[in-house]
């Protein structure tokens, strides 16, 4: 029997400031929950070069906090697996160090987990904010919170793929049954997927193949910090997009053949997200050479989708100044 009902599992790397803010956020949430004995915090430090270790060791919090520091940099995929290995809880809530919990989120989830027995996992809704977490911003198209109006229980893997799909890649929305995860991971060597940034998605899909009892929680439990994409900041636009689209393709091809409904629905959502990606980049005055390379990348992946020609290609033909002006108007008058 597990010692705890829930572990908040946080992989981190060189982001002490954000991590401290999250721990302070958790402390405030724990004050609203009378039973601290149900909660554990796991932090896996991917060999940070900042003061993460000292900060964590000096931080006082009202529940067990387990800190593990890698001796070498392993990458986010292995760090997530390590988080889950260290957990002593029945469920793990994977959480990005720069996001925050909404008011009452932890107490609400604990109530859900006590009430709903034998879940394989949960996917919770979010509220997107700007970089400073001061103003809400528009949610992306096809996000589950824009599709559903209440909780939904899934018992078929294919339905999860069709409705949630690529959004399983948003780490802070994932609450996972620990024992089922560990069984799905097994002793397998995941090779190239250790560098995919989305190995978590593959393992979740493996879990669903064996036991799919997944609960979508409509109440937003996460404050998402936008504009803080570590992969984008580290690798640049082209490599970031190449990794995301290539990794999702690699993962989905391990579960569904081309031509299946699940495959089509998964990548249709990705195509529908591209206009926002392009508009955001053009509003930051991205150079036209990079835009041409992006167009070539997207063409190679999505030329067979009609929406690609209708919603994506035309945006590349518009001058950046249009998007720059729209961005200024949006942030001045609409948020």
At 174-210, the pLDDT tens digits run: 999 999 999 999 999 999 999 999 999 999 999 999 9
pLDDT of residue 16: 97
pLDDT of residue 214: 98
Low-confidence ranges of the chain (pLDDT < 70): 1, 33-35, 231-234, 335
- The pTM is what? 0.95
pLDDT of residue 109: 96
> Homologous superfamily of 4-228 in CATH?
Spore Coat Polysaccharide Biosynthesis Protein SpsA; Chain A (3.90.550.10)
pLDDT of residue 334: 73
pLDDT of residue 230: 72
- What is the number of other CB atoms lying within 10 angstroms of the CB of residue 56? 22
């Amino acid at each position: 029997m597990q010692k705890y009902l829930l572990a908040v599992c946080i992989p981190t790397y060189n982001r002490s400031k954000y991590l401290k803010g999250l721990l302070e956020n958790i402390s405030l949430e724990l004050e609203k929950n009378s039973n601290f004995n149900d909660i554990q915090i796991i932090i896996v430090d991917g060999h940070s070069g900042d003061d993460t270790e000292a900060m964590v060791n000096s931080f006082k919090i009202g529940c067990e906090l387990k800190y593990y520091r890698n001796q070498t940099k392993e990458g986010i995929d292995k760090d997530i697996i390590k988080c889950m290995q260290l957990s002593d809880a029945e469920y793990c809530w994977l959480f990005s160090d720069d996001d925050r919990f909404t008011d009452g989120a932890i107490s609400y989830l604990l109530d859900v987990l006590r009430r709903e027995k034998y879940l394989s996992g949960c996917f919770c809704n979010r509220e997107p904010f700007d970089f400073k977490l001061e103003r809400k911003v528009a949610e992306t198209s096809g996000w589950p919170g824009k599709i559903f109006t209440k909780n939904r229980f899934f018992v078929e893997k294919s339905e999860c793929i069709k409705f949630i799909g690529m959004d399983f890649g948003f780490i802070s929305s994932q609450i996972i049954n620990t024992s089922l995860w560990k069984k799905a991971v097994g002793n397998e060597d995941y090779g190239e997927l250790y560098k995919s940034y989305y190995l978590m998605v593959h393992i979740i899909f493996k879990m669903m193949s064996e036991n799919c009892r997944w609960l979508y929680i409509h109440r937003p439990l996460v404050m998402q910090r936008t504009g803080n994409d570590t992969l984008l900041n580290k690798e640049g636009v082209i490599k970031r997009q190449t990794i995301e689209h290539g990794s999702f393709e690699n993962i989905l091809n391990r579960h569904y053949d081309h031509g299946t409904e699940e495959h089509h629905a998964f990548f249709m959502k990705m195509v529908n997200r591209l206009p926002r990606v392009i508009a955001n980049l053009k509003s930051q005055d991205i150079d036209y050479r990079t835009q041409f390379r992006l167009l070539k990348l997207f063409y190679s992946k999505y030329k067979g989708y009609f929406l690609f020609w209708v919603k994506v290609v035309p945006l590349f033909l518009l001058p950046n100044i249009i998007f720059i002006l729209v961005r200024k108007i949006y942030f001045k008058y609409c948020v």
